[in-house]
Structure formats: structure tokens, C-alpha cells
């Protein structure tokens, strides 16, 4: 797995720092929305974004290699939509 660039990682840290509610689109087709808490290494040794889902359930870890897009729900001056990988074409 190729790590994400430092520039993209900075946006994850900004979202955590300012508690920006985000909508995440993953490469496996899943979607999540919530408040990013931190980045961390999970038990599988994957770098993850830990979020507190809007549903208010327990925090979940999302491996960074699965991130496709992160869209800010909370208005902010830092970012609107960040694209981590281009969506796969269905050709």
C-alpha cells in the first residue's frame, strides 16, 4: 500500500484539529460522515483516520488507503473537497 502524500495528510490533521464534520467516500464504495478525531495505527498496522460517526456510536478507524474523497460539511476556510484517489472507471 502506497502511503498518502504529506499534503493530503495535512488536510486530515486540519479536520481533526478544527473538528470539521466531514463526509468520507471510500474506494470500496462505503461512505461515512462524522468528526475526525486523530490519525493512528490500528491492530492490523494500517494508518487510519479515527472518526466519531454522526450516529454517535463508537469511534471507528478508516484505513487511509481506502480514502477516495473527503468533503467538509462544517463550513471552514481550509478545504471543501479533498480527492485522495480518482474514482475507478467502470469500463
Instruction: Give the domain CATH number at 62.
Output: 2.30.30.100
Average confidence (pLDDT) over 67-88 = 92
Flag whether 16 is in a domain.
Answer: yes
Q: What is the number of other CB atoms lying within 10 angstroms of the CB of residue 53? A: 13
- Please tell me the total count of domains within the chain: 1
Rounded CA-CA distance 64/27 in Å is 10
Q: 4-8, 9-13, 23-27 — which is least confidently predicted?
A: 4-8
Flag whether 91 is in a domain.
Answer: no
Flag whether 89 is in a domain.
Answer: no
Rounded CA-CA distance 28/20 in Å is 23
Residue pair 32/53 in contact by the 8 Å Cβ criterion: yes
* Distance from the Cα of residue 59 to its chain's centroid: 13
- What confidence score (pLDDT) does residue 1 get? 67
Flag whether 1 is in a domain.
Answer: no
Flag whether 50 is in a domain.
Answer: yes
Flag whether 68 is in a domain.
Answer: yes
Flag whether 90 is in a domain.
Answer: no
Three cell numbers, residue 50: 479515527
Model confidence, pTM? 0.90
Domain region containing 56: 6-83
Cell 493512528 identifies what position?
40
Pairing between β-strand 47-53 and β-strand 60-63 as defined by DSSP bridges: antiparallel
Flag whether 21 is in a domain.
Answer: yes
Amino acid at each position: 500500500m502506497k502511503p498518502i502524500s504529506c499534503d493530503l495528510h495535512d488536510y486530515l490533521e486540519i479536520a481533526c484539529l478544527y473538528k470539521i464534520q466531514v463526509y468520507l467516500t471510500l474506494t470500496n464504495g462505503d461512505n461515512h460522515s462524522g468528526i475526525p478525531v486523530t490519525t493512528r495505527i490500528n491492530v492490523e498496522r494500517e494508518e487510519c483516520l479515527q472518526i466519531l460517526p454522526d450516529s454517535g456510536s463508537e469511534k471507528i478507524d478508516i484505513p487511509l488507503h481506502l480514502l477516495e474523497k473527503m468533503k467538509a460539511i462544517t463550513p471552514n476556510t481550509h478545504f471543501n473537497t479533498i480527492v485522495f484517489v480518482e474514482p475507478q472507471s467502470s469500463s
